[in-house]
């Protein structure tokens, strides 16, 4: 990256800029001072950015590369891995029906999350965008499920959905006793139960994002449409929805990535082993069960790599073909640059 002398002069350390003051382009005589300022700027950059970068590389980036390395070994997690097995772990993963089922469940969760939450979130955001009384209270309340932890959600819903639990009891009371089912253990129902709990937990986040998106649409557009006599629904269809596009696409991206990584809720409600018989296992619960609980760390790491690669391919494809229309993608974006 090339920098003009002027940029350097205005950007260099405070004392330097102070001395330069009026004349912006530094003369040749300033060279030593500039070099000192340059050194000082480098020192500041290193001191300010060093700690964050070290912590980030150590605990986020480095482990993923280690996973790629460990994934080639049959290894119990003690000492240095020596039993190199090449691609054997990966072959096992893709021939294990349990993993393929989990992958299928993840794909289902990705799609159904988008379909269930997206339209509902937009509708609720439009609803809450109306200037009604108690709006701020409503906004706090719909965010409650998002703020409480997965463990609490899992424990609470797990108790309510037991066969003798509150949900079935309520159904009986209102005369729908015929619809009593085993919400958690019935393999035909369980994944839909999971979808309801996921939607309940995360829709608040979607609504708040959409609401923020709607509120950032310039008021002039609405005024102009209103003057032209457009109806409420026409305005939403032709102004709100198109201009909400970037928000919807960002939300969908976050939702897909979250669905691919789903672990906590399944693990808490269905436990380590029941999830695969109930049809709710995910790649992450498979990884924990086969890697951590059995102590096969080489294999667990290989599963982690598979999850990572699948998520990364989806993310990059999405950014390349969908998000690029809105902003510079998160991976290629430049700091502080606004969309044009």
Tokens 């003369």 found at:
27
Closer to other proteins by CB, 171 or 189: give it. Answer: 171
Tokens of 201: 């937990």
**Taking the complex as a whole, how short is the minimal distance between the CB of residue 277 and other proteins, in angstroms?**
19
Using CB under 8 A, pick the residue from 34, 165, 180, 181 that binds other proteins. Answer: 165
Using CB under 8 A, pick the residue from 90, 192, 200, 318 that binds other proteins. Answer: 200
Number of CB atoms found within 10 A of residue 92's CB: 16
Contact between 155 and other proteins per CB under 8 A: yes
Contact between 29 and other proteins per CB under 8 A: no
> At 93, phi and psi to the nearest 5?
-55, -50
Using CB under 8 A, pick the residue from 127, 234, 294, 320 that binds other proteins. Answer: 127
Closer to other proteins by CB, 4 or 95: give it. Answer: 4
**Taking the complex as a whole, how short is the minimal distance between the CB of residue 234 and other proteins, in angstroms?**
12
How far is it, in rounded angstroms, from Cα 326 to Cα 66?
Answer: 34
Contacts with other proteins by CB under 8 A: the residue count is 122
How far is it, in rounded angstroms, from Cα 278 to Cα 280?
Answer: 6
Contact between 340 and other proteins per CB under 8 A: no
Query: Are 94 and 307 a contacting pair, CB within 8 Å?
Result: no
How far is it, in rounded angstroms, from Cα 147 to Cα 150?
Answer: 9
* Cα–Cα nearest to 125, from 213, 202, 200: 213
Tokens 């709710």 found at:
280
Using CB under 8 A, pick the residue from 28, 95, 132, 178 that binds other proteins. Answer: 132
Quick one: residue 214, left, alpha or beta (phi over 0 = left, psi -120 to 50 = alpha)?
A: alpha
Using CB under 8 A, pick the residue from 204, 255, 275, 286 that binds other proteins. Answer: 204
Burial class (CB in 10 A: 0-12, 13-18, 19+), 28: exposed
Using CB under 8 A, pick the residue from 157, 183, 202, 286 that binds other proteins. Answer: 157
Q: What does the per-residue mask of binding to other proteins show for 179-198, with x meaning CB under 8 A? A: --------------------
Within residues 308-337, the interface with other proteins by CB under 8 A covers: 308, 311-312, 315, 326-328, 330-336
| C-alpha radius of gyration, the chain, whole number | 27
* Cα–Cα nearest to 296, from 31, 131, 93, 14: 93
Query: Are 154 and 265 a contacting pair, CB within 8 Å?
Result: yes
How far is it, in rounded angstroms, from Cα 249 to Cα 262?
Answer: 20
Using CB under 8 A, pick the residue from 141, 238, 295, 320 that binds other proteins. Answer: 141
Q: What does the per-residue mask of binding to other proteins show for 90-109, with x meaning CB under 8 A? A: --------------------
Using CB under 8 A, pick the residue from 5, 91, 100, 226 that binds other proteins. Answer: 226
**Taking the complex as a whole, how short is the minimal distance between the CB of residue 309 and other proteins, in angstroms?**
9
Within residues 43-82, the interface with other proteins by CB under 8 A covers: 44-45, 48-49, 51-53, 55-56, 58-64, 66-67, 70, 77
Within residues 259-298, the interface with other proteins by CB under 8 A covers: 261, 263-264, 268, 284, 287-288, 291-292, 297
């Amino acid at each position: 990256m090339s920098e003009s002398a002027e940029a350097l002069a205005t950007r260099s350390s405070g004392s330097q800029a102070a001395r330069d003051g009026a004349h912006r382009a530094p003369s040749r005589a300033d060279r030593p001072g500039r070099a000192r300022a340059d050194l000082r700027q480098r020192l500041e950059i290193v001191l300010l950015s060093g700690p964050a970068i070290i912590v980030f590389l150590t605990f986020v980036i480095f482990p993923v590369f280690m996973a790629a390395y460990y994934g080639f070994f049959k290894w119990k997690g003690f000492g240095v891995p020596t039993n190199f097995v090449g691609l054997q772990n990966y072959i096992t993963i893709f021939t294990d029906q349990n993993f393929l089922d989990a992958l299928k469940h993840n794909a289902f969760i990705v799609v159904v999350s988008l379909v269930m939450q997206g339209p509902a979130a937009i509708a609720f955001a439009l609803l809450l965008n109306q200037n009604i009384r108690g709006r701020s209270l409503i906004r706090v309340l719909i965010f409650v499920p998002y703020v409480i932890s997965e463990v609490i959600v899992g424990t609470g819903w797990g108790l309510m959905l037991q066969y003798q639990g509150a949900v079935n009891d309520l159904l009986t009371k209102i005369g729908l006793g015929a619809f009593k089912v085993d919400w958690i253990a019935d393999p035909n129902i369980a994944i839909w139960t999971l979808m309801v709990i996921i939607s309940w937990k995360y829709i608040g986040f979607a609504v708040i994002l959409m609401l923020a998106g709607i509120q950032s649409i310039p008021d002039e557009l609405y005024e102009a449409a209103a003057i032209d006599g457009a109806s409420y629904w026409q305005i939403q269809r032709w102004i709100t929805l198109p201009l909400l596009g970037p928000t919807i696409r960002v939300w969908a991206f976050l939702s897909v990535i979250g669905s691919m990584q789903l672990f906590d809720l399944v693990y808490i409600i269905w436990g380590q082993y029941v999830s695969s018989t109930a049809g709710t296992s995910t790649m992450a619960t498979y990884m924990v069960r086969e890697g951590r609980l059995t102590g096969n760390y080489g294999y667990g790491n290989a599963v982690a790599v598979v999850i990572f690669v699948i998520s990364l391919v989806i993310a990059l494809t999405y950014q390349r073909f969908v998000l690029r229309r809105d902003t510079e993608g998160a991976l290629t974006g430049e700091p502080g640059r606004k969309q044009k």
